[in-house]
Chains A and B, each alone.
Chain A
Amino acid sequence: MKGPYDMGHLIANYYETGAIILFGVGFVTLLAHGNLIKKIIGMNIMDTAVFLFFIAKGYISGNEAPIIRSAKPASGYVNPVPTALMLTGIVIAVSITAFALSLTIRVYEKYGTVDLNEIIKMGGE
């Protein structure tokens, strides 16, 4: 359907469309469940969707990976900058997940349940 927005363009950019749909799936998982572990899983899925979106911006069709063995001009390689930037992000996602899980263990030991609605009903002690 043509117009000011071209919807057939979404099928050609299937990496970015898939990344945004994955972001939506993670977002619904974060909001809809009451279990704390499922909320943490939803946040991890949203992180992975952002990494996929960013790294897919660096691809150039027909070129090869940026490991220089023979003398080729610089236009024969894939863009190496987004990959180098997202390596730090992956490590930070792992750290945040580990910290959130350790706090969940402490909450479970104090209240006896991991359901968020029941914890709110028990009141702030």
Chain B
Amino acid sequence: MNKPAVEAERSEILTEVGKLIIPFIQVFAIYVILNGHLSPGGGFAGGTILGASMILHRLIFGWDNLISRLTYDRVMKWMCASLLIYGALKGYSFLTGGMHLEVWDVPLGTPGKLLSGGFILPLNIAVGIIVSITVYVFFKLFYEGTI
């Protein structure tokens, strides 16, 4: 475990403001991801906002708090699982449509509601997780020099 190059000092203003604001940023990011098919936004923009909130949490609260929750193994497992889920969902509809098989397809629903559009909602969530983890790990590597 290496120490970061610049040690953060404990400042009360930053700690108290951080405790209030970071939940709001994360709720807004989840809203942008889930409403990707109804309004502008989608997986990429929501994932960047979620990654920015994780960077802010790591900058304010030092490195003792996040060492136990966002370790290297857990983060890589989430990322690999998201990529495989995207591939499986996309491959299922791609291959059954291309070979003209008559298997079960996701119902489309009425446009305008939250649970509509077939596979668009799970794919948005997978892309959001991938982008947020990428942005956070880039910052962590360049700030501390190692995972």
Contact = CB atoms under 8 A, between A and B. Distances in A.
Direct touch of chains A and B (CB < 8 A): yes
Q: Interface size for chain B: under 10, 10 to 19, 20 to 34, or 35 or more residues?
A: under 10
Interface string A62-93: 00010100000000000000000001000100
B39 A67 contact: yes
A contact patch SS:
helix
A98 B40 contact: no
Nearest to B135: A94
Contacts of B61: none
A60 interface: no
B39 A91 contact: no
A102 B141 contact: yes
A98 B44 contact: no
Contacts of A98: 138
Interface in B128-147: 131, 138, 141-142
A67 B142 CA distance: 39
Interface in B14-57: 39-40, 44
A67 B40 contact: yes
Contacts of A119: none
Contacts of A102: 141-142
A91 B44 contact: yes
A72 B39 CA distance: 17
A10 B59 CA distance: 47
B40 A65 contact: yes
Interface in A23-50: none
A100 interface: no
B84 to A, nearest CB: 19
A96 to B, nearest CB: 12
Lowest 5 CB-CB distances: which A-B pairs, in order?
A98-B138, A87-B44, A67-B39, A67-B40, A91-B44
Interface of A: 65, 67, 87, 91, 98, 101-102, 105
